[in-house]
Amino acid sequence: MAIYKVVLYGDDVLREKCRPVTRINANITKLLDNMRETMYDAKGVGLAAPQVGVAKRVVVVDAGDGLVELINPEIVLSEGEETDVEGCLSFPDLIGDVTRAAWVKVKGLNRQGREVSYEATGYKARAFQHEIDHLDGILFIDKAVNVRKLKPGRR
C-alpha cells in the first residue's frame, strides 16, 4: 500500500465533477486501500478520490466507528439541519462553520460491488456529506461561514 500526497486547494481536480466507477477492478480496490492509508496517516475522518488526484466517485470515511468505503456514493435521504465546525485535508490550516443535514441515508457500492447503505447522524453524517460534495467539485469553503486559520499545532 502507498500513502498518497493530499491535493491542496488550487488544484483543478478538486473542482471536477468526478466520473462514476463503471467496473470495480484491482485498480479501484488498490485506490481504496491507499486512500484508507492516506486518510489515517493524515489523521482525517474522510477522504475523497479527487483529494488524491483521481476524478472518480470513491470515498472513505471513518468517524470513529470503523471504516466505510463507498464507490459511487449518493445521499438518498436527508433530514434536519445543524451547523458545526469543519476542516478539510485539502485546506490544512483553515476551518469554518458549515450547515449540513443532521441525518442522512447514503448508498453506494462496497469493494465487492454489492450495494450498501448507511444511516448517520452527527459527525458521521457531516463526514459523508463533506466527502460526497468533493465528488461534485464542491468544497467546504463554498458552504462555510466564519472561515478562519487554525492556530499552529491544532488539527
Residues acting as catalytic residues: 131
Nearest-Å Rg of the Cα atoms of the chain is 15
Task: Please check if 18 is assigned to a binding site.
Answer: no
Query: How many Å apart are CA 16 and CA 77, to the nearest integer?
Result: 24
Q: Which of 112, 107, 106, 84 is nearest to 96 (CA)?
A: 84
Task: Please check if 130 is assigned to a binding site.
Answer: yes
Contacts of 22 (CB under 8 A, 6+ apart): none
Name the residue with cell 441525518.
103
Q: How far is CA 69 from the centre of its chain?
A: 10
Task: Please check if 30 is assigned to a binding site.
Answer: no
Binding-site residue numbers for Fe cation are 88, 130, 134
Binding residues: 88, 130, 134
